[in-house]
Amino acid sequence: MAESFGADAERYDRTRLPYPDAMVERIVAAIPGPDVLDVGTGTGIAARQFQAAGCTVLGVDPDARMAEFARRTGVAAEVATFEDWDPAGRRFDAVVAGTAWHWVDPVAGAAKAAGVLRPGGRLAVFGHAFQLPAEVAEAFWTVYRRVAPDSPLDVRPDARVLDLYQGFYTKAADGIRAAGGFGEPEQWRFDWTRSFTRDEWLDQLPTHGAVTGLAPEKLAEVLDGVGAAIDAVGGAFTMDYATFAATAAVQGP
């Protein structure tokens, strides 16, 4: 699944949401210099935000299609999994991972990050979680249960998605702690909302990992059903989002 997103890199870049400016600014303010390594850079969404904040960014991604798209947008990118990537002696002031750390072993990844960070450098892993409005979640759940019953996407009306994602970043902090070499990890949370029209949500939906592997006819059924559900609530809805981060600075001189 990690390498399925490049099938439509342009859609991914167009529809996936950027990270809160306040989070980017907080990370940049907490690092000793401008050099950032972006793990799982994808199309370069987070990388471009760090560039806009004055950083020099190198991206690493296992999908050559995503890396090539990132390069076309001005992000230097190398193709490799983080575990296999060769730093070739390079050091960085920050290692970041936006919506990508779940593809990396949390302890081995943190240990590798510690090895490429300069003194005072920081590892920051982060990602979005969203909570569907109850009336939309009920309809979405009905569609997924019918069309893609094996989908890992949890859109049950009673699913506490934000709490589940908070748990993932608690585990990420545990991985950083277990790797050693870092100070005590911190967890940050940024809450916000985003409204979607029917067309905006259906444009983004095919980039979600839970549906990227569906056959075209199954994806079409999902889109039709979800579109009808949005129409039934007036053609638009507002989503609650939280962006979670687990972060720590390397110790030592």
Total domains in the fold of the chain = 1
At residue 79, the 3 state secondary structure works out as: strand
Domain range enclosing 223: 5-249
> How far, in Å, CA of 89 to CA of 118, rounded?
11
For the chain, report the end-to-end CA distance as a whole number of angstroms.
40
* 212 vs 235: which has the higher pLDDT: 235
> How far, in Å, CA of 74 to CA of 80, rounded?
19
Q: Is the pLDDT of residue 152 over 80?
A: no
Q: What is the mean pLDDT of residues 218-233?
A: 91
Q: What is the pLDDT of residues 8-65, one digit of tens each?
A: 799 999 999 999 999 999 999 999 999 999 999 999 999 999 999 999 999 999 999 9
55 residue type, one letter = C
- Single out the residue of 99, 93, 170 nearest to residue 130, CA to CA: 99
> Domain containing 39 — which CATH number?
3.40.50.150
Q: Looking at the chain, which runs of residues are DSSP E strands?
A: 35-39, 56-61, 76-79, 92-98, 117-131, 186-197, 236-249
Q: What is the mean pLDDT of residues 114-133?
A: 95
